Amino acid sequence: MYDIIIIGAGAAGITAAIYAARANLNFEIISKDVGGLTLWSPDIENYTGYHNLTGIDLVEKFKEHMADYKINVKEETITKVEKKDDNFIVKTEKEEYETKSVVIASGSSPRKLEVEGADKFEGKGLAYCATCDGPLFAGKDVVVIGGGDSALAAALTLIQMTNKVYILNLTEELTGKDKALSEKVLKSEKVEVINNAKSKEVFGEEFVTGIKYEQDGQEKTLDVQGVFVEIGHIRNTDIVKDLVELNDKKEIVTDKTGATSQPGIFAAGDLTDLPGKQSIIAAGDGSRALLSAFAYVSKKG
Amino acid sequence: MTVKIYTTPTCPWCKKVKEFFKENNIEYEEIDVASNQEAQKEMIDKSGQMSVPVIDIDGEIIVGYDVEKLKKALNIGA
């Protein structure tokens, strides 16, 4: 019987694991991969103490920190969390783990574009990672779909390598909250923001040659060779959906201590209903949720 | 066996594949397509994809970090 099973190994789960190791608890951290969405952040400029590094580098720091405490992430895919008396069973495709408490920090995944041609052209001009695939579009015209901070971060990456960057935004104005980021993007002469634009179809032959969108009831076309999708995220909460209360965005309703509606299950990071989906907030959440889980386990005995 | 991996410097999955090669003592040649247009074209021709990483194991093309396919192509037991 474990004291705590931590689900997810992004900024939140890893921080929880470090706290669990320091508290000498009997725990495991289980995740299908290590680094979570932090790994995909192009440039991180707001993580205290590390003001200028990439997501990959920050995750390396996380791994070094875990190595100091001999923490090994079990790389397994979790299929379900179930209740057993007042304990829990965490099921993966390989094993079952019985535990007194759970910290769920399985984060979120990029939302897929669901228009005609999107699946067909994925990897053939349509991409979900500007930092990865951006260099393949050097000198070309591209479009970023989305208007939030992730879309702006992708645009900033693409400005540095492509010829022209359109931003196709669904709403009246951009929704990103990072002013420093939006200023950097909007001052570039390569950038053109198109508001109130709904994507309709990605088209091409072997590779993408353009996108159709609708604006003010009219169908319009952009000739682009690259389509980068940044239209938000879906929360990875299915594995606990029968045990804890979710809101209408499928986020876990979480109180100020990290507790959920199910005693013994604590939540941290991007999948909670708390505002601010950022690595540094997730890390703080992870430590708080672990301390709350520790208090719960101690009281339970 | 000849193993080539086409990468960009900032791609997390490229890094994962390289870690996998190192863990399994596989020697590989890395080709950075961000700074080499010719290699980029070669990669797209081979794979039909504009996406990294692309791995070429004796002519067998694998796109992305796919552990099962990598193990199979490299004859590594489960």
Q: Can you give the CATH number for the domain in which B38 is found?
A: 3.40.30.10
- Segments making up each domain of chain A, as ranges: 2-110+233-300, 126-229
- Which residues are paired to A89 by β-bridges? A82, A98
Name the percent of chain A lying above pLDDT 70.
100
Domains A2-110+233-300 and A126-229 belong to one CATH topology:
yes
pTM (predicted TM-score): 0.83
Find the CB nearest B10 among A42, A127, A206: A42
Class of domain A2-110+233-300: alpha beta
Measured distance CA(B17)–CA(B20) in Å, rounded: 5
Domain count, chain B: 1
Answer whether residue A42 shows pLDDT above 80: no
Domain span at residue B51 reads: 3-74
Each residue's pLDDT tens digit, A98-112: 999 999 999 999 999
Question: Is the CB of A124 less than 8 angstroms away from the CB of B50?
Answer: yes
Q: Could you say which residues from 83 to 112 on chain A have a Cβ atom under 8 Å away from some Cβ of chain B?
A: none
Q: Could you say which residues from 227 to 286 on chain A have a Cβ atom under 8 Å away from some Cβ of chain B?
A: none
Each residue's pLDDT tens digit, A156-197: 999 999 999 999 999 999 999 899 999 999 999 999 999 999
ipTM of the complex as predicted: 0.88
Measured distance CA(A284)–CA(A19) in Å, rounded: 11
Domain A126-229 of CATH type 1.10.10.10 = no
Find the CB nearest A135 among B13, B34, B49: B34
